[in-house]
Amino acid sequence: MQNLYPLKFHPRYYDKIWGGNKLKTALGKDFGDLPNCGESWELSGVNGNISEVSNGFLAGNNLEELIEVYMGDLVGEKVYEKFSVEFPLLIKFIDANDDLSIQVHPNDEMSKKRHQAFGKTEMWYVLQADQGAKLNCGFNQKIDKETYLKKLENKEIMDVLNFVEVNAGDVFFMPAGRVHAIGKGIMVAEIQQTSDVTYRIYDYERKDANGNERELHTELAVDAIDFTYHDSYKTDYKTEKNQRTEVVKCDYFNTGILEFDATIKKDIYELDSFVIYICVEGEYEISTPDFTEKVKMGETILVPASVHQYQLKPISPKVKVLEVHL
């Protein structure tokens, strides 16, 4: 059997009522004639939307097929024991040309009980933001369930939501249960559990082409919401050149930012996990003793757990990647 190597995948594109064209103009994505492309699923194990390899001798095979064959060599022994052939993370780029609905995701326990699925904890890295663009993350005051429902009924829910003006490079962690929404003019890289369970709370009374408002999930959502108030919801961090800076560590993923202008040598033998690199700035080359691949801004690559040693070599003067593993 031939050795595994860093894997690229064909993105899967999705038209959204709130989508735009930044995935094409800023990231060079070819999403064809979709009028409002809101999402590019870069790496997915979601049933019915499983990513397919685009490079090397494994091109044409999908992610689930690869895990069936390579098991722990691909994802890590402990990861395979826990998740079997289901890939545990979903990586997306999201372009919000309009405000996304106010929403919340259930945790593992609730999602398993209601939907036979995993919960959805996620994080956002802001790739680009128009001047003054804002996103919602949590509440702007202490609030309880009864007050929340009253505000929702009176169409005053926006009054109690926390909105933050954002800039490129900002990071927000969204544990399951936290109310949130990406605002108009923002493009993000999203890292999340493999789940597509979303409860829509409020959608600005928008109507589709047929004059219908989108479905809301008020009753499902209220039991999923964490009403805890926080003084700040943004993740503060400071990068050091050519060193990994950890920004989010939770039960579901560990994400670091790596900004480099020199060759970085990596050894992941002790990690026992695949590693994902999401390129958010510049272009670089990833190489093993017998394989080399170029990666540019807007591209994602998966390093199998059995590829213990490799290096990242900058092509552009500066490169920035999100490094994700379990």
- Mean pLDDT (whole number) for 55-62: 97
My answer on whether 64 and 210 are in the same domain is yes
Domain residues for the domain of 63 are 7-234
State residue 278's pLDDT score: 98
My answer on whether 320 and 171 are in the same domain is no
My answer on whether 187 and 304 are in the same domain is no
- Mean pLDDT (whole number) for 281-309: 97
State residue 144's pLDDT score: 95
Location of structure tokens 């002790």: 270
Q: How confident is the model at residue 214 (pLDDT cuts 50, 70, 90)?
A: confident
My answer on whether 31 and 179 are in the same domain is yes
Q: Strand, helix or coil at 310?
A: strand
**pLDDT at 212 exceeding the cut of 90:** no
**pLDDT at 45 exceeding the cut of 70:** yes
The reported pTM is 0.95
My answer on whether 84 and 183 are in the same domain is yes
**pLDDT at 28 exceeding the cut of 80:** yes
My answer on whether 191 and 230 are in the same domain is yes
Domain count within the chain? 2
**pLDDT at 184 exceeding the cut of 80:** yes
What tokens were used for 8?
């690229």
- The answer to the question of residue 2 being in a domain is no
Strands of the sheet containing 199-202, edge to edge, are 161-165, 134-139, 180-181, 102-104, 199-202
- The answer to the question of residue 239 being in a domain is no
d(CA 263, CA 277): 15
- The answer to the question of residue 303 being in a domain is yes
The rounded percent of the chain whose pLDDT value lies above 70 is 100
User: In the predicted model, what is the mean pLDDT of the chain?
Assistant: 96
Last residue of a domain, one of 234, 265, 284: 234
My answer on whether 302 and 153 are in the same domain is no
- The answer to the question of residue 1 being in a domain is no
147-177 tens-digit pLDDT: 999 999 999 999 999 999 999 999 999 999 9
**pLDDT at 134 exceeding the cut of 70:** yes
- Mean pLDDT (whole number) for 268-280: 97
Annotated active-site residue 214? The verdict is no
State residue 100's pLDDT score: 95
Per-residue burial over 262-290, b if 16 or more Cβ lie within 10 Å, else e, is eebebebeebbbbbbbbbbbbebebbbee
My answer on whether 196 and 142 are in the same domain is yes
One of 12, 178, 200, 214 is an active-site residue; which one?
200
State residue 196's pLDDT score: 85
State residue 207's pLDDT score: 77
State residue 1's pLDDT score: 66
Last residue of a domain, one of 181, 202, 234: 234
State residue 213's pLDDT score: 83
State residue 51's pLDDT score: 98
- Mean pLDDT (whole number) for 236-246: 96
Q: What region, left, alpha or beta, does residue 48 occupy, with left being phi > 0 and alpha being psi -120 to 50 degrees?
A: left
CATH of the domain at 315: 2.60.120.10
